[in-house]
Structure 1
């Protein structure tokens, strides 16, 4: 089964909850996972960058993967985030992490190094050859410092067997159109940008991997299903209700914004690992006010 069919709809890049001593709060993680599935999302993404993976040890990452499989219990597909700018280290993780129950691997483009397009191609080719599961590219240049150009995405899609799709978050609609036009028919193209997911779906993307869905799984997944069914007026109506959420999430950084929402909903403690810190009081207050006035 191609990723285009198995990962159609809404995937949530879930947070990693922490206790006050910054150990992993597995009880809260279980609550978050159940909240997503009960809210109607199609799949989960664990250990994405929203999960603060740069601050989580390999041993902890393995524990989180195994716990996620156990808690999900086959109810929805699980995508595992594994990435970095040391290709050999990522390859080693792909060979040694417990990935048997994963549907795919989400891997962000190498950050900071700013490799050439050929370097990006060779990086993903090495990952695809090592991975026991299909690779989902993740293009987020405002964080990594380097765009995966449309031509590179299309080349990877056509030439590398184990590359199954892309989470696209470059913000460039011309690039989206290029990719959607030229990739193979069974190649998954999904949004990585909550605020423009509806027009991206209108262009032909198959859904979204969302941050906002952590706190609003029912709203986001319903909105995406409506958009995929061509019911854009109804989808936009839901989008308008949560439009301010997209700003509140990223006022300071991710995942401080979404963790504040989840804290106010009673799902997690408002704890993050340095260098990320909780939202400032004024921005946290804005989230409290939004939730106080929100009518589901």
Structure 2
């Protein structure tokens, strides 16, 4: 599979009783794919997987795999025969060093039933990796890309994008850095912000890829404040609050240890959504979503 465009790491909506609202998840998944997302991500951090039961996690993958099959769209997620590729975290906490990380992914790639997309997020794992190590990982058989989320536009990602391994896609994992990484040659992004204004995030990606620089810069400037507002409190609390305010999920609820977003953060994000030029959201009242 080719990794390019916008992948949306899906939230897990809850109903008024606190149960997973699988019907709302299915509608939302159809909406973002209809609006231009390339594919979905199941059970990323945005989906609150650590707060779900094993049965709930299985149900989420079942729903999202069914929706992606209907759209002929790729699904990233945990290692599972139902996903197109496994989004695989750099080993957290143990900090094995670059050589240990390379050995870990070498062994994993040799046994995985699906291709691997590496999730590099050193603020959470405690394990930095330089461009040389990332190229070695990217050159492994069946490693097809990386979600790059270091929290900075750093020298290593610039060096990696200047000389990536063949067939290895760099995806922005920090929503705020999507536009500059696309300008440097990234293939797309895994973007929680793209639950909202999905079509505009997709248009931003296309504009950089096709060389429409004026449109790319304009969209980048419009969408960056929206991403900042959606991450003003721990993810996915503000995103859920905005989706609920737009009538797209039944409640804004999250599960502990997360707490619901404040009204001030929700309202600020809604203002940014309006300022980004979004005339209507797929699935919102009065629109033609599923």
Give the shorter-chain TM-score range: 0.7 to 0.9
**Deviation digits for residues 192-215 of structure 1 (CA, Å, limit 9, x no counterpart):** 122221221121111111111111
**1:271 corresponds to:** 253
**1:209 corresponds to:** 190
Deviates further, 236-245 or 161-170: 236-245
**Deviation digits for residues 231-264 of structure 1 (CA, Å, limit 9, x no counterpart):** 1210221222223211111112111121122111
Q: Report the CA distance shift for 1:153/1:256 in structure 2 as closer, same or farther (over 3 A).
A: same
Question: How many angstroms apart in 2 are the aligned matches of 1:148 and 1:54?
Answer: 25
What value does the CA root-mean-square deviation take over the aligned residues? Answer: 1.9
Question: Where do 1:176-215 residues align within 5 Å?
Answer: 176-215=157-196
**1:102 corresponds to:** 83
Question: How many angstroms apart in 2 are the aligned matches of 1:13 and 1:36?
Answer: 11
Question: Where do 1:56-71 residues align within 5 Å?
Answer: 56-71=52-67
* Unaligned segments of structure 2, at least 5 residues: 279-290
**Deviation digits for residues 41-100 of structure 1 (CA, Å, limit 9, x no counterpart):** 111111111111222233322221111122333414233322xxxxxxxxxxx3xx3x2x
Question: How many angstroms apart in 1 are the aligned matches of 2:181 and 2:212?
Answer: 14
Q: 1:32 aligns with which of 17, 28, 35?
A: 28
Number of paired residues? 276
Deviates further, 281-290 or 58-67: 281-290
Q: Report the CA distance shift for 1:54/1:191 in structure 2 as closer, same or farther (over 3 A).
A: same
**2:269 corresponds to:** 287
Q: Is the 8 A contact 2:197 2:273 kept in 1?
A: no
**2:48 corresponds to:** 52
How far off is 1:292 after superposition?
5.7
SS of equivalent to 2:15: coil
How far off is 1:183 after superposition?
3.1
Q: 1:167 aligns with which of 129, 147, 150?
A: 147
Question: How many angstroms apart in 2 are the aligned matches of 1:223 and 1:293?
Answer: 16
Output the TM-score relative to the length of structure 1: 0.86
